[in-house]
Amino acid sequence: MEEFHKITIQKTNKGLIINNPTHYELIGKGVQGAVFKISEDRCIKMYAKERHCLRESQALIAGQDSSIIPTVFEVGSNYIVMEYIKGQPLKDYLVSNSSIPVPVVNQLVFVFKEMKRIGFSRIDASIRHFIVTDDGEIKVVDHVNSLKIKREWPIKCFRALTKLKLLDSFLYQLKVMEPELFEEWKKLMDISKE
């Protein structure tokens, strides 16, 4: 498993340059790094810059008592070995729906409340970072900016739900389930439109 040390990630103006001389499968990449599956239950995120690894490891460690955060097994200067989450991105899960299922709304509300409870200043993760597990639970990956950026409502999630034509369904259910949270977020939505 230590073979992952051979992987290098460089950040350029055109994106990441990934050199992977190992047999580990690339399963995702973003602005700061790339993720490789290293076993059936573990993956590794490799970073181009140590500061991004440090920021994400701090956020992940802060959330280790939460079911929405992947378990961390090892942290290095430019990598984090963590739980491999079996499932699909929330966006893919929702694409075939004309309304957002009640259990998903419940899970999303739980996720947003958990992010706040953990102490994240940013709770607007992109829905591509929400993974629906085979058990129907939602876990959140990619927390590089969870403790750095301040956003008190899930604006990125709302934008994605708007594109999928599911925001009205989500807000309707939110208003029924959590009227105070609905009012809080509606006020923040209205302010952001000004």
pLDDT tens track for 19-52: 999 999 999 998 889 999 999 999 999 999 999 9
27 with 42, same domain: the answer is yes
Count of the separate structural domains present in the chain: 2
Domain that holds residue 130: 87-193
- pLDDT band for position 193 (cuts 50, 70, 90): low
Reported pTM: 0.89
- pLDDT band for position 57 (cuts 50, 70, 90): very high
Helix crossing, 179-193 with 155-163: angle to 10°? 80
User: CA angle 163-168-173, nearest 5°?
Assistant: 130
- Cα 131 to chain centroid, rounded: 7
State which of 51, 83, 115 marks the end of a domain: 83
107 with 189, same domain: the answer is yes
pLDDT at 191: 65
Q: What CA dihedral angle connects 27, 30, 79 and 14, to 10 degrees?
A: 120
- Cα 82 to chain centroid, rounded: 14
Distance in angstroms (rounded) separating the CA atoms of residues 23 and 36: 10
107 with 66, same domain: the answer is no
* pLDDT tens digits for range 127-180: 888 999 988 899 999 888 777 888 888 989 999 999 999 999 999 999 999 999
* pLDDT tens digits for range 80-103: 999 999 999 999 889 877 778 899
With H, G, I as helix, E, B as strand and everything else as coil, classify residue 194. coil
94 with 182, same domain: the answer is yes
State which of 49, 68, 83 marks the end of a domain: 83
Report the CATH number that the domain containing residue 17 is assigned in CATH.
3.30.200.20
144 with 162, same domain: the answer is yes
State which of 21, 51, 83 marks the end of a domain: 83
Place of tokens 């290095």: 76
142 with 94, same domain: the answer is yes
pLDDT at 194: 54
Task: Indicate the DSSP class of residue 75.
Answer: E
122 with 144, same domain: the answer is yes
96 with 143, same domain: the answer is yes
108 with 161, same domain: the answer is yes
